[in-house]
Amino acid sequence: MKVAVACDHAGFALKETVVNKIKALGHEVIDCGCPDTQRVDFPDYAAKAGALLTGRQAERAVLICGSGIGMCIAANKIHGVYACVCHDAYSAHQGVEHDAMNALCLGALVIGQHVAEEVVERFLAAHYFNEGNYKKRVDKILALENNF
């Protein structure tokens, strides 16, 4: 699987851990930046990863900022990106399975490295159920996206 990874300056310290975990799981990383701890604006990097998702050059994305919230808000403004802050393994896989989440947002100032690795692993191992009530609900989310 191709996974876009993006961060801002506050997320930079956790990015290496996330990239290494994704590679160790056998996935390909597309590094969208940022390249160092110089102050940057997180929406710019959410947009880079979001463009790869919507253009189908990446199947998932991991977005990292200080809290995860800024990246999440910015990413969810991109048509076709379904992002959520998850700091636990259950939410990371359940968001994919039930809600077709394709972007995981992490708060580098909130989550530790070991938990982040577990969350990323569960996020990437999950598959959207795409049937029954799950499909019906996601279809309603898509209708909301298309109508507003």
**Dist. CA 29–CA 112, nearest whole Å:** 21
Q: Residue 31: its pLDDT value, please?
A: 98
Per-residue pLDDT of the chain (148 residues; tens, 9 = 90+): 999 999 999 999 999 999 999 999 999 999 999 999 999 999 999 999 999 999 999 999 999 999 999 999 999 999 999 999 999 999 999 999 999 999 999 999 999 999 999 999 999 999 999 999 999 999 999 999 999 8
Coil, helix or strand for 29?
strand
Token pair for 84: 């959520």
Alpha helices in 34-112 (DSSP H): 42-54, 69-75, 89-99
For the question of residue 114 being annotated catalytic, the response is no
For the question of residue 34 being annotated catalytic, the response is no
H-run or E-run covering 120: helix 113-125
C-beta of residue 7 within 8 angstroms of C-beta of residue 14: yes
Token pair for 29: 């990383």
Active-site residue, selected from the candidate residues 32, 34, 65, 105: 65
Bridge partners for 30 per DSSP: 4
